Chain A
Amino acid sequence: MTRRTVLTRRAASRLILALPVAAPALAQDAPPGKKAAEKPTPQAECIAAQEAGLSDAERETLKKSITGFDKAVQAVRDFKVPADVPPAVRFAPLKPRRA
């Protein structure tokens, strides 16, 4: 199991309320003197480059959002799940609806 960090917990909870503010949250958690914008993750660069119809400012905001998101859900990505654990949803075949 991967231990959570306070940074991940805080940033993750922000995602629901405000995905765009995740990046500032992460910046606040950075050591003093290192509050400059974080380097976008490769995924953030890639998605922002592919997205059509965005202004430059929106593209930058998108990069920050995805970078924040990537960091916040790192706990999910790092987590080792035993192979026999199914998803928490159930598929139920529907019987024929005969009269």
Chain B
Amino acid sequence: MSVLGPDVLYATALDLGRKLRARQISPVELAESYLARIEKLDPTLRSFVTVDRERALAGARRAEGEIARGQVRGPLHGVPYGAKDLFAIEGLPSTWGAKPFAQQRFESTATVIERLAQAGAVLLGTVAMIELAGGLGYSVPWASFTGATRNPWDTGRWSCGSSSGSGASVAAGLVGFALGSDTWGSIICPASFCGISGVRPTFGRVSRHGAMALSWTMDKLGPLARSAEDCEAVLRVIAGHDPRDDWSAQEPVPAALPAETARALRVAAIRPDPQAAEPEVAGAFEEAVKALGAGGVTVGDAKLPDLPFEAVAALVIKAEAASAFEELFRDGRARQLADPEASISNAAARAITAGEYVKALRIRTLCQRAMADFFSRWDLLVAPAEMMTAPPADKSLADVEWSDPVGGMSTLCGLPAISVPCGFGRGGLPVGLTIVAGAFEEPRMFALARLFQAGTDWHRRRPPLG
């Protein structure tokens, strides 16, 4: 069997699906080719935790037979993917990126993994993450029991976290797409740093049944892929109500909108604080706004409401994570964590009183109301996804200036966001553009993202890996 080259392996998931259905390539050939590429490149990138060759080839053979018989399950049938290592998957370890859970296994399978299996997608294995999805805070890129995941654009740089392997594996052409989770920036940041597209859906849009809980009121699951259209296709498979998740929304999954409809939308630009953003990032953002204008989109200037979004988000996550991982500290296993300062994290959480947590949730109500009002005047907002490009993989994050007002606002309010590549900054490293929509208004967000990608080619650029 021939090994497929990068031109095929870097195709979008939807293109791969089309090739598979047209029987131009076979699911087994495709899975074998990704497995060979993982074997070749991943010792450097460290994006995978467990490669399940047997399961992958069994899934590929099943897809091959079904497609041959004309039993097509959908656009992702036969497309290989990776799942962040925090999902319950029967027969596979689910390490949560943390040494104390290195041997953890579940007898059930997460809803998102089940839904992708029903859609015929082929699971290659689990991909790396920051330990406990960064819920205890982390001060170094190697705060994971598998070490720092390297950025395919420059292997001396970090792929970001906590969905580190999801970002790197997609950018390196090791998978067709990946699943990640985002409590605050854990999909958006890896997508931005790795030059790919990544979506954090509206809170409740995707079932979290079978996924590690870090913050019950903030956790979301979503796709990372090589185009916005791919992300939309994956989201359509994994979205929708699930009675096994108490927080799963009853909202129907709406139909996709044509990209052209974005031209009629009111788009607000939130310009970055010049002191917080790298000049190259601010420059790439301005070019992206111009590209939207060239595509027929009218972009106006706006500011976020003056509310303490980031402080509230920080407090809520810190308090909920302290509860989620309480046992780890009680029985001393926290000392096994890779971050040098993780073991004191829970003690630091004692600085939050019960009254402060409730107060933060009350301010959150005001934040939600203010943003619902904002999105009655605007349909979408755009901003730099991150204020910087990827930092070194082998240095502490202590000197990294990290400002994320739009991300703090949108994750706190449970709003959907996408990051799409919009240029390159320092050292030729990718820069992301984020588009945020009102709650459950993902179709508008995707329409603008697809229109942007129809007029630009940043998402088609490949890192120098061969």
A binds B: yes
Question: Which residues of chain A are within 8 angstroms of B361 by Cβ–Cβ distance?
Answer: 87-89
Is B456 engaged at the interface, CB distance under 8 Å to the other chain? Answer: no
| Interface SS of chain B | helix
Once the chains bind, are A65 and B344 in contact (CB under 8 Å)?
yes
Once the chains bind, are B314 and A16 in contact (CB under 8 Å)?
yes
Cα separation A34 to B322 with both chains bound (whole Å): 33
Cα separation A43 to B184 with both chains bound (whole Å): 27
Question: Which residues of chain B are within 8 angstroms of A89 by Cβ–Cβ distance?
Answer: 217, 361
Question: Which residues of chain B are within 8 angstroms of A19 by Cβ–Cβ distance?
Answer: 136-137, 318, 341, 345, 348
Question: Which residues of chain A are within 8 angstroms of B345 by Cβ–Cβ distance?
Answer: 19-20, 65
Once the chains bind, are B312 and A65 in contact (CB under 8 Å)?
no
Once the chains bind, are A17 and B137 in contact (CB under 8 Å)?
yes
Question: Which residues of chain A are within 8 angstroms of B405 by Cβ–Cβ distance?
Answer: 9, 13
What per-residue 1/0 map shows which CB atoms of B361-401 lie under 8 Å from chain A?
Answer: 11111111000000000000000000000000000111111
Once the chains bind, are A76 and B359 in contact (CB under 8 Å)?
yes
Once the chains bind, are B217 and A88 in contact (CB under 8 Å)?
yes
Is A86 engaged at the interface, CB distance under 8 Å to the other chain? Answer: yes
Which residue of chain B has its CB nearest to the CB of A83? Answer: B362
| Interface SS of chain A | helix
Interface centre among A16, A74, A85, A89, by most B CB within 10 Å?
A16
**Given A3-B306, A6-B273, A66-B348, residue A75 in contact with residue B365 (CB < 8 A):** no
Question: Which residues of chain B are within 8 angstroms of A9 by Cβ–Cβ distance?
Answer: 310-311, 403, 405, 408
Is B8 engaged at the interface, CB distance under 8 Å to the other chain? Answer: no
Interface size class of B (residues with CB under 8 A): 35 or more
What per-residue 1/0 map shows which CB atoms of B308-333 lie under 8 Å from chain A?
Answer: 10111111011000000000000000
Is B351 engaged at the interface, CB distance under 8 Å to the other chain? Answer: yes
Which residue of chain B has its CB nearest to the CB of A29? Answer: B401
Cα separation A17 to B318 with both chains bound (whole Å): 11
Q: How far is the CB of B393 from chain A (nearest CB, A)?
A: 15
Which residue of chain A has its CB nearest to the CB of B332? Answer: A53
Once the chains bind, are A12 and B311 in contact (CB under 8 Å)?
yes
Once the chains bind, are A12 and B408 in contact (CB under 8 Å)?
yes
Q: Name B351's contact: one of A8, A61, A70 (CB within 8 Å).
A: A70
Q: How far is the CB of A82 from chain B (nearest CB, A)?
A: 8
Which residue of chain A has its CB nearest to the CB of B364? Answer: A88
Which residue of chain B has its CB nearest to the CB of A74? Answer: B311
Is A56 engaged at the interface, CB distance under 8 Å to the other chain? Answer: no
Once the chains bind, are A76 and B363 in contact (CB under 8 Å)?
yes
Q: How far is the CB of A62 from chain B (nearest CB, A)?
A: 5
Once the chains bind, are A87 and B365 in contact (CB under 8 Å)?
yes
What per-residue 1/0 map shows which CB atoms of B180-197 lie under 8 Å from chain A?
Answer: 000111000000000000
Question: Which residues of chain B are within 8 angstroms of A25 by Cβ–Cβ distance?
Answer: 401-402
Cα separation A65 to B368 with both chains bound (whole Å): 29
Q: How far is the CB of A72 from chain B (nearest CB, A)?
A: 6
Cα separation A10 to B408 with both chains bound (whole Å): 11
Is A47 engaged at the interface, CB distance under 8 Å to the other chain? Answer: yes
Tell me the residues in window 1-30 of chain A with beta carbons closer than 8 Å to chain B beta carbons. Answer: 1-4, 6, 8-10, 12-21, 24-25, 28
Tell me the residues in window 21-73 of chain B with beta carbons closer than 8 Å to chain A beta carbons. Answer: none
Cα separation A95 to B192 with both chains bound (whole Å): 45
What per-residue 1/0 map shows which CB atoms of B248-287 lie under 8 Å from chain A?
Answer: 0000000000000000000000000101100000000000
**Given A18-B137, A47-B350, residue A76 in contact with residue B306 (CB < 8 A):** no
Tell me the residues in window 69-98 of chain A with beta carbons closer than 8 Å to chain B beta carbons. Answer: 69-70, 72-77, 79, 81, 85-89
Cα separation A12 to B310 with both chains bound (whole Å): 6
Once the chains bind, are B306 and A4 in contact (CB under 8 Å)?
yes
Is B138 engaged at the interface, CB distance under 8 Å to the other chain? Answer: yes
Cα separation A24 to B397 with both chains bound (whole Å): 10
Cα separation A21 to B217 with both chains bound (whole Å): 25
Tell me the residues in window 31-46 of chain A with beta carbons closer than 8 Å to chain B beta carbons. Answer: 43-44
Once the chains bind, are A81 and B363 in contact (CB under 8 Å)?
yes
Question: Which residues of chain B are within 8 angstroms of A87 by Cβ–Cβ distance?
Answer: 358, 361-362, 364-365
Question: Which residues of chain B are within 8 angstroms of A21 by Cβ–Cβ distance?
Answer: 139, 396-398, 400
Once the chains bind, are B347 and A16 in contact (CB under 8 Å)?
no
6 contacts between A and B (CB under 8 A): A9-B403, A16-B137, A16-B314, A18-B398, A65-B348, A72-B314
The chain B residues found within 8 Å of chain A, CB to CB, are: 134, 136-139, 161, 183-185, 217, 273, 275-276, 306-308, 310-315, 317-318, 341, 343-345, 347-348, 350-352, 356, 358-368, 396-405, 407-408
Top 10 closest pairs, chain A to chain B, by CB: A19-B137, A87-B361, A75-B308, A88-B364, A20-B341, A12-B310, A15-B314, A12-B311, A75-B311, A18-B139
Since A6-B275, A16-B137, A19-B345 are in contact, a sample of 17 more A-B pairs with Cβ atoms closer than 8 Å, ordered by chain A residue number, is A4-B308, A4-B311, A12-B308, A13-B407, A16-B184, A17-B134, A43-B351, A44-B351, A47-B350, A58-B343, A61-B344, A76-B308, A77-B359, A79-B359, A81-B362, A86-B362, A87-B361
